[in-house]
Structure 1
Amino acid sequence: MKRRLIPSILALLLAAPATAAEVPAALNKAEELAALPGGAWLSLDKRGLRLVAADGRERASLLLRGEQLDLRPADGGALAIVIDSNAERLLPVRVDTRAGTLAVLPALPDTGFGIEAACMYRDRQGLDHAFLVAKDGQAQQWLLGSEPRLVRRLALPTGVEHCRVDDAHATLFVSEEEMGVWAYGAEAEGPSARTPVALHAPWGKLKETVGALAVLPGGLAAIDDKGALLSWRREGASWRALPTRPLGARQLASNSLLVQTGKGWQAPLLNWKAGTAPAPALPVVLPRMQTEPVARAGDAADDPAIWVHPTDPTQSRVLGTNKKQGLLVYDLQGRQTQLLESGRLNNVDLRQDIRFGLERFDLAVATQRDENAMVLFTIDTKGELREAARLPTGLGDIYGTCAFRTAEGGLDAFVNDKDGRYEHYRITRADGRFGARLVRTFRLASQPEGCVADDRSGLLFVGEEKRGLWVTSARADQPATLTMVMPVGPLLHADVEGMGIYHGADKSWLVVSSQGNNSYVVLDAAAPFTVRGAFRIGMDAAKGIDGASETDGLEVTSANLGGVYGKGMLVVQDGFKRMPDGPQNFKGVAWEDIAAALKLDSGTRQ
């Protein structure tokens, strides 16, 4: 069942001071407190965890020595987490406010460290996560559910005693002892980069140690060790500190701006103006498969291509570069079938049924960065690859490539350099050998990489990583006049890298990797290049497949590959392998899922 996103109760709590009716007097001695839907409360004190009705009646309790209470609403109540301090384990608890029950769910597996801080996160898919933090900075992110899964490990500062997550902005906040407050990305995909919210001198203006945290709409609140209430408003990528309010506070509620003072739990009057709103949510599609990880750690996997079997499409292959090793070949289930150790290959593309006189070939071309050359591979009818030639170029730092099947059935290859230069080659064959002849050059103002040629329209799309998407003619006898199709902006984020073309029954679509916000933009592959939307690739918790992020290269086909890929397939490089952490790999997505998410015409043309 899909969980609902958190309803905001802060609007009421921030509008007026608390009254005795808002927080029952029976809860005044609670060490930790969380508001529940319908006016009920979850409290943690020396007797354990208690479910308390709006009128102060206790409805259920769990005996434990607990700390670090947090929760998210769910149908009929909430899902809560609490640390069992004796066992050093995180306990998920199902709260049923209608039945008045607390049900302890299986504890998460042993982390291998003492848990100093814990907090919950509900992602854009409605999946619940827990962050667990050790005193020495070790941290883990777990996916909660009937079978909890370790999503990733991350390194946080030492001395973290409190954390909270802003679900709307996917931001994890932690307070570091003697240093201040940091903001991290809560999404499992992507790097765990941090930005400061507020720091002590000489790095900032904080004067006291920050304790408990509470999320505000577009901002954050905290109490310091002097009992003052601190707050910060999100302003774009930075934070604005608001005036400090001395309250004599000892604790903050986990999901609302309630502070505990000598008079009990109260809601201080705070004329809060919400900060920067979160970006609009994009539709999420789930991967149907993932390949085995590449055999090298770090930034290794880069660019895929799809070869369609001539008689049995279910036996088609996915090619993928490992830029520390060579070229990998996978079946449609993601199993590796071949490794060609051809060195540092960056991009790869292919075309089938290429004609050289009476000879026919399926050919893949890849850029080899050590030799600044193109490597040409032949593909036999079983999907087996063999290196056929190494063709030099005039580039000094070769990077991306894409292929074009000419109207005559030949093969052209476009290769680019980090300095913006493009070289357009015609692949030749004479006396049983492949060669390459330079037929055209052009350049972009800054670094390119991804490109794709549309064999049907004769258009060539090229990405300039920091500026956007361009189009020109793919034909060697035409001038390479570049026209901007889509600049970097609200929907397309730098870096602009991988791209592929899907040929539908009546129209074709261009899919572009918007690396800066881990999404994929879809637009018409013909003028006026109307944008059809964007989507993200999320996590399939049931299959244990993580999402995709920081995608370098991608490829898409409309060929009927059978099964869930009856209307085609998108393959993307995943910059961060999660659940568990590991070397990078490639993810496969059914085109039918993308078409449904963006309401595209689902017809295909072979």
Structure 2
Amino acid sequence: MHFTKTCALLLGTLLGPGAMLSPAQAALPQPLKADKLVALPEGGWLLQSKTMLRSIDAQGRPSAELALASEKLDVRRDGARTLAVLVERSQQRVQGLYLQAGQFRPAFTLPALGFPIESLCLYRDPQQLLHGFFIGEEGRGQQWLLSGPAPRLLRELALPTGVVDCQVDDARGELLLAEADFGVWSYPADAERKLRRTPVLLKQPYGPLQQGALSLARLPGGLAVLDGKGERAHLLAQTSAGWQARSSLRLPAGSAQLAIDARASQLWRQDEDSEQWQAQALRWSVPKLPVAAALPIVLPSGQTEPVARLGDAADDPAIWINPRDAAQSRVLGTNKKQGLLVYDLAGKETQLLAVGRLNNVDLRQQVRLGGQTLDLAVATHRDALALVLFGIDADGQVSERARIPTGLPDIYGVCLYQPPAGGLEAFVNDKDGRFQHYRIEYQDGQFSGRKLREFRLPSQPEGCVANDQDGVLFMGEEDRGIWTISARAELGAKPRLLMPVGAQLHADVEGMALYHGSAASYLVVSSQGNDSYLVLDAKPPFAVRGAFRVGIQAELGIDGASETDGLEVTSANLGGVYGQGMLVVQDGHKRLPDGAQNFKYIAWQDIARALALP
């Protein structure tokens, strides 16, 4: 055929050594006629027409057939089955079908999305959960979590208008969009990451495309892009520097779509007028890229109700242990736009103290002050430039007790220290790097603060935590790393850099907390730059025990955690899954569905198991 001969001649000169075509040797009969042709993971194809969905094996033998008027189509392997997701034409509803043992079986039907779907594509995340992206012509889009008891809306998307096709590179977690009038863009497929776009291949003068992009087809470690004029296919490879063009192939005019088989051995092209598909053999050399070791994923066991303000609002938690019934303990959390929130262990809000813009909070229990024993929380107030003291009664009720001015122009983080001799001390910092060390005093029913010393880090700090047992203060300089200094004011030591930002710790360095277990104590740090949590020994030489991420708990409908600011941890037995304690982390992006920020609860036993901690 003319198409086959033309491709064979052109590719000898146009394709480099990493990708080349040769005369067709495909076993499938040609041409095939279908609206959509999608490769099956196990080999063979799904053919979608206006009234029928059918599967064929690699030799073209039919294996399953279903009378269904549908459009749009993508597939992923789901255990022993293949999941096909499409749009049913009459109702314009997204449907999932399982293909197994030569039969199609219903999997799910999504509710109406509220916009006509122009393209859809599937994604398998590092947890092996399946997601669906559904995109409309005016830039509206949604990402759904398809795994779990039932599909759930994960997040809303704002995308370019005129998206005509999409694919997801599962290995790199990239959502790739073909914008008909401009080109190909890449977005993070991970819902916990910000929706930022990166150009992949654009039209002239920004790139080689003539009129944008019409169709995309995935290659192992690469991508095939059909030019907007339908006359050229561009083959791109993934490199450590991003997407790079390997070669391009001139096609007959009127090409409408591309498809590539599961082994990347065939390139198929659909003719726009006849809707017929024809193939050419393809030899594709998979790019060799360094593979970073994947961090273990720990699932949350609970979450709090969202805070009452949108945007960057929730920031820092603290944990109060009920001495009479640990199951009735409380989690305190700051809302930078409102005040202090109090939650129970089920995540239900029990109190809101609308005292203004609080940033960080820390607490200590059984504090001996002025002849009394008190449970106290201390927070930084961004408007009053003061420390706000809260009392916590035996039932976990919180009330404001006092404000201690600091004189810091941009007050930021705070952490508490309970010296062995008694009393309470506070370390408060400013964005300019300064730390002030106060002793909290209580006399005649009045609280006050006496400044003991002042020191600084080179640039902006926030998170800090004091080890009451050893008299050591850990501090986070956001762009540089973890520092230590003696928590004892009389020693007057200078800060020492304990661990710089690098391969394991990624800026910003944010929340810090100490876990005191029966076998060992650990420092837990929010490594915000790569959405992970680093665990180190709390004693010299401060060996790194590992890092982990917080993933999606599909069964409970709880999203993962990312861009964590503050965190807190306790080793107290809180009952149930929290028998070895719990970690509470602020979540920078609330999903399942989108909403105001909140805090996630993670059982320490799951962290210990993931990192093989004693």
Is the Cα–Cα contact under 8 Å of residues 16 and 267 in structure 1 kept in the other structure? no
Task: Give CA deviations for 1:248-304 in whole Å, capped at 9, x if unaligned.
Answer: 354222775533267944355455452645543211111111111111111110000
CA distance in 2, matches of 1:27, 1:410: 84
Find the counterpart in structure 2 of residue 100 from structure 1.
102
Find the counterpart in structure 2 of residue 167 from structure 1.
170
Deviation of 1:350 (Å): 0.5
CA distance in 1, matches of 2:596, 2:84: 33
- Asked if 1:337 corresponds to 2:320, the answer is no
Find the counterpart in structure 1 of residue 78 from structure 2.
74
Is the Cα–Cα contact under 8 Å of residues 317 and 334 in structure 2 kept in the other structure? yes
Is the Cα–Cα contact under 8 Å of residues 233 and 275 in structure 1 kept in the other structure? no
- Asked if 1:253 corresponds to 2:255, the answer is no
Is the Cα–Cα contact under 8 Å of residues 301 and 585 in structure 1 kept in the other structure? yes
Is the Cα–Cα contact under 8 Å of residues 588 and 597 in structure 2 kept in the other structure? yes
- Asked if 1:593 corresponds to 2:602, the answer is no
Is the Cα–Cα contact under 8 Å of residues 69 and 254 in structure 1 kept in the other structure? no
CA distance in 2, matches of 1:418, 1:489: 22
Task: Give CA deviations for 1:29-51 in whole Å, capped at 9, x if unaligned.
Answer: 23422333443322223452111
Deviation of 1:370 (Å): 0.5
Task: Give CA deviations for 1:460-514 in whole Å, capped at 9, x if unaligned.
Answer: 1111111111222111112342222222222221111011111111211111111
Find the counterpart in structure 1 of residue 151 from structure 2.
148
CA distance in 1, matches of 2:225, 2:355: 55
Which stretch shifts more, 509-518 or 75-84? 75-84
Is the alpha carbon distance of 1:278 and 1:324 closer, same or farther for their aligned partners in structure 2, counting shifts above 3 Å?
farther
CA distance in 2, matches of 1:255, 1:385: 62
- Gapped runs of 5+ residues in structure 1? 1-13, 602-606
CA distance in 1, matches of 2:203, 2:19: 31
1:221-300 alignment, distance < 5 Å: 221-224=224-227, 225-236=229-240, 238-248=242-252, 249-253=255-259, 256=262, 257=264, 258-260=267-269, 264-267=277-280, 269=282, 271-274=284-287, 276-277=289-290, 279-300=292-313
Is the alpha carbon distance of 1:219 and 1:529 closer, same or farther for their aligned partners in structure 2, counting shifts above 3 Å?
farther
Deviation of 1:201 (Å): 4.0
Find the counterpart in structure 2 of residue 118 from structure 1.
120
CA distance in 1, matches of 2:241, 2:598: 30
Give the letter for the 2:154 counterpart: V
Is the Cα–Cα contact under 8 Å of residues 23 and 265 in structure 1 kept in the other structure? no
Task: Give the secondary-structure state (helix, strand or coil) at the position aligned to 1:25.
Answer: coil
Give the letter for the 1:243 counterpart: S
Deviation of 1:535 (Å): 0.9
Find the counterpart in structure 2 of residue 180 from structure 1.
183
1:445-464 alignment, distance < 5 Å: 445-464=458-477
CA distance in 2, matches of 1:255, 1:390: 67
Find the counterpart in structure 1 of residue 3 from structure 2.
none
Deviation of 1:68 (Å): 2.3
Is the alpha carbon distance of 1:309 and 1:254 closer, same or farther for their aligned partners in structure 2, counting shifts above 3 Å?
farther
Is the alpha carbon distance of 1:15 and 1:240 closer, same or farther for their aligned partners in structure 2, counting shifts above 3 Å?
closer
Give the letter for the 1:137 counterpart: G
CA distance in 1, matches of 2:130, 2:261: 15
CA distance in 2, matches of 1:277, 1:163: 26
Find the counterpart in structure 1 of residue 194 from structure 2.
191
CA distance in 2, matches of 1:255, 1:189: 31
Q: How many residues align?
A: 586
Find the counterpart in structure 2 of residue 493 from structure 1.
506
Find the counterpart in structure 1 of residue 65 from structure 2.
61
Deviation of 1:61 (Å): 1.2
**Aligned-pair RMSD on alpha carbons?**
2.1
Is the Cα–Cα contact under 8 Å of residues 219 and 275 in structure 1 kept in the other structure? no
Is the Cα–Cα contact under 8 Å of residues 560 and 568 in structure 1 kept in the other structure? yes
Task: Give the secondary-structure state (helix, strand or coil) at the position aligned to 2:573.
Answer: coil
- Asked if 1:404 corresponds to 2:417, the answer is yes
Is the Cα–Cα contact under 8 Å of residues 231 and 243 in structure 1 kept in the other structure? yes
Task: Give CA deviations for 1:415-446 in whole Å, capped at 9, x if unaligned.
Answer: 11111111111111122211111112111111
Task: Give the secondary-structure state (helix, strand or coil) at the position aligned to 1:407.
Answer: coil
Give the letter for the 2:431 counterpart: K
CA distance in 2, matches of 1:16, 1:175: 24
- Asked if 1:475 corresponds to 2:488, the answer is yes
Aligned residue among 439, 449, 453 for 2:452: 439
Give the letter for the 2:210 counterpart: K
CA distance in 1, matches of 2:105, 2:112: 20
Q: Identity across aligned pairs (percent)?
A: 55
Is the Cα–Cα contact under 8 Å of residues 32 and 252 in structure 1 kept in the other structure? no
- Asked if 1:425 corresponds to 2:428, the answer is no
Is the Cα–Cα contact under 8 Å of residues 27 and 43 in structure 1 kept in the other structure? no
Find the counterpart in structure 2 of residue 508 from structure 1.
521
Is the Cα–Cα contact under 8 Å of residues 183 and 197 in structure 1 kept in the other structure? yes
Give the letter for the 2:507 counterpart: A
- Asked if 1:36 corresponds to 2:45, the answer is no
Is the Cα–Cα contact under 8 Å of residues 50 and 71 in structure 2 kept in the other structure? no
CA distance in 2, matches of 1:190, 1:329: 27
Give the letter for the 2:28 counterpart: P
Give the letter for the 2:246 counterpart: L
Which stretch shifts more, 116-125 or 234-243? 234-243
Give the letter for the 1:434 counterpart: F
Task: Give the secondary-structure state (helix, strand or coil) at the position aligned to 2:90.
Answer: coil
CA distance in 2, matches of 1:137, 1:87: 21
Task: Give the secondary-structure state (helix, strand or coil) at the position aligned to 1:596.
Answer: helix
CA distance in 2, matches of 1:576, 1:507: 32
- Asked if 1:216 corresponds to 2:256, the answer is no
CA distance in 1, matches of 2:161, 2:288: 29
Deviation of 1:523 (Å): 1.1
CA distance in 1, matches of 2:87, 2:562: 31
CA distance in 1, matches of 2:450, 2:194: 42
- Gapped runs of 5+ residues in structure 2? 1-17
Is the Cα–Cα contact under 8 Å of residues 536 and 543 in structure 2 kept in the other structure? yes
1:530-545 alignment, distance < 5 Å: 530-545=543-558
Is the alpha carbon distance of 1:475 and 1:202 closer, same or farther for their aligned partners in structure 2, counting shifts above 3 Å?
farther
Task: Give CA deviations for 1:296-332 in whole Å, capped at 9, x if unaligned.
Answer: 1111100000000111101100000001000000000
CA distance in 1, matches of 2:260, 2:347: 42
CA distance in 2, matches of 1:179, 1:264: 26
Which stretch shifts more, 77-86 or 589-598? 77-86
Which stretch shifts more, 331-340 or 104-113? 104-113
Deviation of 1:205 (Å): 4.4
* TM-score (ref. length: structure 1): 0.92
CA distance in 2, matches of 1:79, 1:506: 46
Is the alpha carbon distance of 1:55 and 1:272 closer, same or farther for their aligned partners in structure 2, counting shifts above 3 Å?
closer
Give the letter for the 1:260 counterpart: R
Find the counterpart in structure 2 of residue 572 from structure 1.
585
CA distance in 2, matches of 1:595, 1:412: 31
